[in-house]
Chain A
Amino acid sequence: TQLLEQSPQFLSIQEGENLTVYCNSSSVFSSLQWYRQEPGEGPVLLVTVVTGGEVKKLKRLTFQFGDARKDSSLHITAAQPGDTGLYLCAGHRVDSNYQLIWGAGTKLIIKP
């Protein structure tokens, strides 16, 4: 059973379109991180959200942490081919600060 459910699992869109990726759970997290992984490499941290309702922006990427700290979303505006990759969310549950719980990932392909 995946404690962090990511959706969609796979998304292929045209350059210039907008998209949103979701990361949901029934558990409460003290923080949630988003990573991007490219083929042949390890995941690289994009952002950490800590406070319920928090919104963080990284250029065309907007990350939001749910008010109840059980879910998060990643919105990409005007997607570009360079955004292609596997997007992973990971969270520390409030009852365990030492283990990161990972989602299965969203594979994103942006076609030129």
Chain B
Amino acid sequence: EAQVTQNPRYLITVTGKKLTVTCSQNMNHEYMSWYRQDPGLGLRQIYYSMNVEVTDKGDVPEGYKVSRKEKRNFPLILESPSPNQTSLYFCASSSRGQANQPQHFGDGTRLSIL
């Protein structure tokens, strides 16, 4: 089954404790991205990757890191999480980054930073 898998689905942690949210897709997609979703603000892109070893900042990259060492994986790293990073996070992939390509989303990771 074609899917984007995120882990963990839920995480409660404390300020400053490094965490990683994993994302894996099995569709051989070139393009992957991370979003955060906050009430009233919609989806805001954090980082995206056009292909292996190519990553770029989205609209809200501060406080986050990503890597794309393999095509299927695109982890999101919070080196020193802060309460303002409490949010619902989605990973998405598409076959290419160009227009008209549908984004396939994971089921989300709800992060709470205390």
Listed in ascending order, the chain A residues whose CB lies under 8 Å from chain B are 2, 6, 9, 30-31, 33, 35, 40-45, 48, 50, 88, 90, 92, 97-100, 102-105
How many A-B residue pairs have C-beta atoms within 8 angstroms? Tell me.
63
The answer to whether A98 and B45 touch across the interface, beta carbons within 8 angstroms, is no
Q: Which residues of A contact B48 (CB under 8 A)?
A: 98-99
What mask results when residues 52 to 83 of chain B are scored 1 for a CB within 8 Å of chain A, else 0?
A: 00001010000000000000000000000000
Encoded as 1 (CB less than 8 Å from any A CB) or 0, chain B from 26 to 44 comes to 0000010001000011111
A102 interface neighbour in B31, B42, B106, Cβ under 8 Å: B42
Chain B residues within 8 Å of A105, by CB:
42
The 4 closest A-B pairs by CB, nearest first: A42-B105, A104-B42, A92-B99, A45-B102
Most buried by B among A9, A33, A48, A104: A104
State the Cβ distance, B107 to closest chain A Cβ, in Å: 5
Q: Which of A30, A40, A100, A102 has the most CB of B within 10 A?
A: A100
Once the chains bind, are A88 and B42 in contact (CB under 8 Å)? yes
20 pairs of residues in contact across A and B, judged by CB atoms under 8 Å: A2-B42, A6-B42, A31-B99, A33-B102, A40-B107, A40-B108, A42-B90, A43-B105, A50-B100, A88-B43, A98-B48, A98-B56, A98-B97, A99-B45, A100-B45, A102-B35, A102-B42, A102-B45, A104-B41, A104-B42
Size band of the interface chain B makes with A: 20 to 34
Contacts of B44 in A (CB 8 A): 102
Give the contacting residue for A48; candidates B4, B31, B100, B105; CB below 8 A. Answer: B100
Knowing A98-B50, A100-B103, the reply to whether A42 touches B97 (Cβ < 8 A) is no
Complex contact B102–A48 (CB within 8 A): yes
B40 with A104: CB separation less than 8 A: yes
Collect the chain A residues with CB atoms within 8 Å of residue B84's CB.
none
Chain A proximity of B1: nearest CB distance (Å): 14
Q: Which of B92, B98, B105 has a CB less than 8 Å from the CB of A98?
A: B98
Min CB distance, A88 to chain B, in Å?
Answer: 7
